[in-house]
Every structure is written in C-alpha cells, then in structure tokens.
Amino acid sequence: MSQHAANEQDVPADQPLDAKDGHVLARMALMYDRMDPVPSDLVERLQFALTLDALKAELAELQLMPAEAMARSAGTDAVKTLTFTSDTITTMITIAADGPDRVRIDGWAAPGGGVTVELRQVATKMHTQADADGRFVFDDVPHGMTRFVVRAAGGDDLRQPVITPAVEL
C-alpha cells in the first residue's frame, strides 16, 4: 500500500476541515482566479437580469448585418450601425465618435412616434423622447457597456418596455 493511500485511510472524510484543507482550497481558488476569472461585468449583468425579470419587459435582439453592408472606404470615419428587433418595435442606432472618450447616438424607433428612450450605463442614465418619425439623439455619451429601454407613448400598442442587449460603445 502506498503512503498516499495510507494517509487517506487515516483521516475520515467526515472530519472538519483543517489548515491543510484550507491551504489546498486556497490554492484551488487561486488557480481558478487565474484560469477562469469572474467576469468584471458579472454584477451588472446579474442586476440587469433581475431588473428585466421584475419589469416583465420584452427583450430586443441584436440583428447581424451582412459583411458587405459594413464595408467602408478608407477615408470614412468609424460609425457603427446596430439594429435591435422585438415583436413590437425595431430600433436602429448609429454610433459616431464625439471626442476622444465620447460618442453621439442617433436612433430611430419604428413604430416610434413619441416613444421614450432611456440609455443605461453603470454610472449614466439619459432619457429622451423620439419625434413623430421615431428619431432620437443622445449627445456626449461616455464609452462603456450600454443598453436602451424603449417605452411606449400613452395609448400606443407598445405595452411593455423593450430592452436591448448591452453593447460596448
């Protein structure tokens, strides 16, 4: 019988943890922290999930565009266009640089006359109302993970808020 097997028999598994166990667990925790760290935005994503459940909101999907639609000439400024769809509303936004650490967001919601749009980030919340054509703008927006909450104007068919997935600006 090996020395290792003899030691396992000496300490029953139902005994309280001791200093050796603590050392092994601490090393395992360190290994997992290095190999599979907790995502930095985990708390924000959990809070969002809880908020979403509490609101009973509709979640919009991010629509992928074909690669040829995103091709740009070398002289064009970087502008991202994203489209979110749900059963009740489609929202398209363009993101353009507005300084070294800020962006401008131009958006359109359809149907969108009079909907309110909220921009949510960890430390920033902005609100605006779409015009009769569904157009809205957010100026001077800091970079960061961002989601949009679209709410109906009074009496519209959009009965619950629509929340987009978070995107990095």
What pLDDT is stored for residue 7 in this prediction? 55
CB 10 within 8 A of CB 4: no
For residues 61 and 84, the answer to whether their CB atoms sit within 8 Å is yes
The two tokens of residue 141 are 């927006």
Q: Please report the pLDDT score of residue 75 as a whole number.
A: 46
Q: What is the CA radius of gyration of the chain?
A: 25
Q: Are strands 145-151 and 90-97 parallel, antiparallel or unpaired?
A: unpaired
Q: In whole angstroms, how far apart are CA 16 and each of 5, 22, 39, 110?
A: 20, 11, 32, 62
Do 112 and 94 contact (CB within 8 A), yes or no? no
Task: Return d(Cα 120, Cα 144) in angstroms, integer.
Answer: 10
* DSSP character string of 45-100: HHHHHHHHHHHTPEEPEEEPPPGGGG---TTSPPEEEEEEE-SS-EEEEEEEE-SS
Angstrom distance (rounded) from CA 18 to CA 30: 19
pLDDT of 131 strictly over 90: yes
Residue with tokens 């050392």: 23
0.85 cut: is pTM over it? no
Q: Share the mean pLDDT of the chain.
A: 80
Residue 151 tokens, joined: 């709410």
Sequence-distant (6+) residues with CB within 8 A of 65 are: 81, 83
Residue 9 has pLDDT above 60, yes or no: no
In the structure, what pLDDT confidence band is assigned to residue 45 with cuts at 50, 70 and 90? confident
What mean pLDDT comes out for the span 21-35? 91
pLDDT score of 159:
67
